[in-house]
A = this chain, B = another copy of it.
């Protein structure tokens, strides 16, 4: 009944949409009436197009998992090049990006006593291996990284530290920041307190028994210990057993390896502009994924949305400015593709008129905002006006930060846009085996494509050039 309820709501939403579209012919200094009519046509086309679905279906099925440095990653690069070419982009090229390569071979864990049972665990990226027989020790629980940090030296001596912090669910994913510190730094702090192993409640909002992987790091001078995460259900279980006040002994087995420097490739494609070809709108996602799932939401969706949006944005003819899609490499290991892109393209970053990355799943886009020079805010308002009928709210804070791969761009003050997806359930799937194609709603995916296509078309074709702060 529940699903039916959602489906009815969603039906009403899309019915309302089609109605509004036919009404909304705004006036603007930046666009001709004909251009605005084209925007409306592109919207409708996008809302009926299954192009993005076919792309993400193909990527997640025919390539599947694509962790940086694996054969899947290589296959993904070849896939992207071939797809861009088949889609008729004017230019398609790759640029190398290096990163610290790490491979996972196997992982398992169990409660040894007082109640023997399996734990659903995953090694965090960059973890060392345990001995073949595993690390076996008593567990000591902390409620947060801060509590561990404040514990006395040797508080965890000879033990496995368990951080039991649970992230909160929110549309904008604001629970991620506070939770992710324990993933990045937990093993370092635990080792400093004398621990022999580290396990955390996953950075997760899920009600299902999946462990969430993700990047972690060690610190020079601090002993490296195995660093892992367990599912919410397993964290609950560990917590309950510890609360019974008997020693809880667990065993963690991880086989993984750091392999030195790996190389992958940003895959870049462009529809070249007719008037200002060097100026370009930059949209994209990241092509790599973690190894556990097939990277549908993270970030097959972003790849597919932006590829499809670029294609739709030029469906009425060549844009005035170029529209560039960048599929970043090795994001999951630390934005290595984005860093390489910025380094390799430093000279031309000033030509970016608008940048937006889609890397937050495939939920409906509910908000839009920019981070641009005040003088071009009227153009941002024009774009926002055309998104209203897609049920996208203009936040008008002018402080958008873009997706993770745009972080390395920040020093260059390029005009950044945020097309905010509803991420309420994003952290149910993020970095798990459960991040698979069936988690994408085709209708919401089309709305994403429509929003990105409107954005790309308008930023590329406006009379005014967007500039940064």
Contacts and interface: CB of A to CB of B under 8 A. Distances in A.
Contact of A236 (B237, B244, B438): B438
A468 interface: no
Nearest to A70: B116
Given A57-B240, A63-B115, A117-B294, A434 B209 contact: yes
A294 B237 contact: yes
A294 B64 CA distance: 31
Interface in A319-334: none
Interface residues of A, number: 39
Given A114-B62, A115-B64, A116-B64, A237 B72 contact: no
Given A436-B237, A437-B236, A438-B236, A61 B115 contact: yes
15 contacts: A2-B2, A2-B5, A60-B237, A61-B115, A62-B114, A62-B115, A63-B115, A64-B117, A65-B117, A65-B118, A120-B433, A209-B293, A209-B434, A233-B434, A233-B437
Can you tell how many copies of this chain the complex includes?
2
Interface in A108-141: 111, 114-118, 120
Interface in A45-79: 57, 60-65, 71-72, 75
A44 interface: no
Nearest to A60: B237
Contacts of A2: 2, 5-6
Sorted nearest first, the 5 A-B pairs with minimum C-beta distance are: A64-B117, A233-B436, A209-B434, A61-B240, A208-B208
A279 interface: no
Interface string A219-246: 0000000000000110011001100100
Interface of A: 2, 5-6, 57, 60-65, 71-72, 75, 111, 114-118, 120, 207-210, 232-233, 236-237, 240-241, 244, 293-294, 433-434, 436-439
A207 B438 contact: yes
Given A62-B114, A209-B433, A237-B294, 12 more contacts: A2-B5, A2-B6, A64-B111, A64-B237, A75-B115, A118-B433, A207-B438, A208-B208, A208-B210, A209-B436, A232-B438, A233-B434
A438 B115 contact: no
Contacts of A111: 64
A438 B236 CA distance: 8
A6 B5 CA distance: 11
A240 B236 CA distance: 36
Contact of A434 (B208, B237, B241, B436): B208
